[in-house]
Amino acid sequence: MSALSAASAIATRELARFVTQRERFLAALVRPLVWLFIFAAGFRAALGLSIIAPYKTYISYETYILPGLCAMILLFSGMQSSLSLVHDRENGAMRLMLTAPLPRWFMLGAKLLAGALVGLVQVAAFLVIAALFGLRVPATGYATALPALLLSALMLGALGLLLSARIKQLENFAGVMNFVIFPMFFCSSALYPIWKMQESSPLLAKLCEINPFTHAVELVRFAFYGQLNLEALGWTALATVVFFVAALRGYEPARTRSS
């Protein structure tokens, strides 16, 4: 019961913080909507992408990038959640949380899950707006994509958790966020298929293939159409475990005291 109470308290605190930060919610929606309705038109005209889907389904370019934009929301949400960890460490709240009579992995896992749930709320709002403008996936796809979105949110949140364990100052973390977010997003299949990138630069295509964000995007993309991409699932799950274990090492008591 104490573990459930602690996890519930962490989730409630994270959700309450998100609800009170309206600017954060609006920014989370405006960013992908700008890509969806403004940049997509230019990309479609420049790249000539109107029918692109590895699962042999005819879709528009806007529908193609929908999973990538969902993953982008989760990426920013995971980084924002971890940014709050750096802030909590600076004001002492993080140390109090880690001294609770519960395993460190459980407390950080609860924090990670709470951040993932916040990201899913933002994705749901984005998908509703996209659907109002006629950009929809099969009705069952929203249900089948939920586990994929949750795993992707956990992976990207674990990455942010790892960064927060290594970066001690709030100002430095904000700069590193941009250094990590934009290369991960642009060097992926979020905006264009890897085979299209292969035509332009084999090296960049290879970087896209090893990018964990690419696998998260592909996992969600296939799930929207009721299909399971086992390769993407395996790499996304592996990246989640690796990032989280590395973050746990960064939050060892000796390291936490030294910070």
Give pLDDT tens digits for 29-41. 888 888 888 777 6
218 Cβ contact list (under 8 Å, min separation 6): 54, 67, 189, 229, 232
Give 207 or 37, the one with higher predicted confidence: 207
Cβ count within 10 A of residue 65: 28
- As a whole-number percent, the residues of the chain with pLDDT over 90 amount to 31
- Residue-range definition of the domain harbouring residue 153: 2-258
CA separation for the pair 101, 2 (Å, rounded): 9
**Model pLDDT, residue 225:** 87
- Region 149-159: mean pLDDT is 95
Contact (Cβ atoms closer than 8 angstroms) between residue 165 and residue 98: no
Give 144 or 46, the one with higher predicted confidence: 144
**Model pLDDT, residue 97:** 65
**Model pLDDT, residue 63:** 82
Residue 166 has pLDDT above 70, yes or no: yes
Range of 56-60, 84-88, 166-170, 248-252 with top mean pLDDT: 248-252
| Cα→Cα distances 144→2, 150, 182, 189, 195, Å | 33, 11, 28, 20, 26
Supply the pTM of this predicted model.
0.85
Give 65 or 168, the one with higher predicted confidence: 65
Range of 44-48, 51-55, 132-136 with top mean pLDDT: 132-136
- Counted domains in the chain: 1
**Model pLDDT, residue 41:** 67
Cβ burial 243-255 (10 Å sphere, 16+ → b, else e): bbeebbebbeeee
Residue 159 has pLDDT above 70, yes or no: yes
- Region 75-81: mean pLDDT is 86
Residue 148 has pLDDT above 90, yes or no: yes
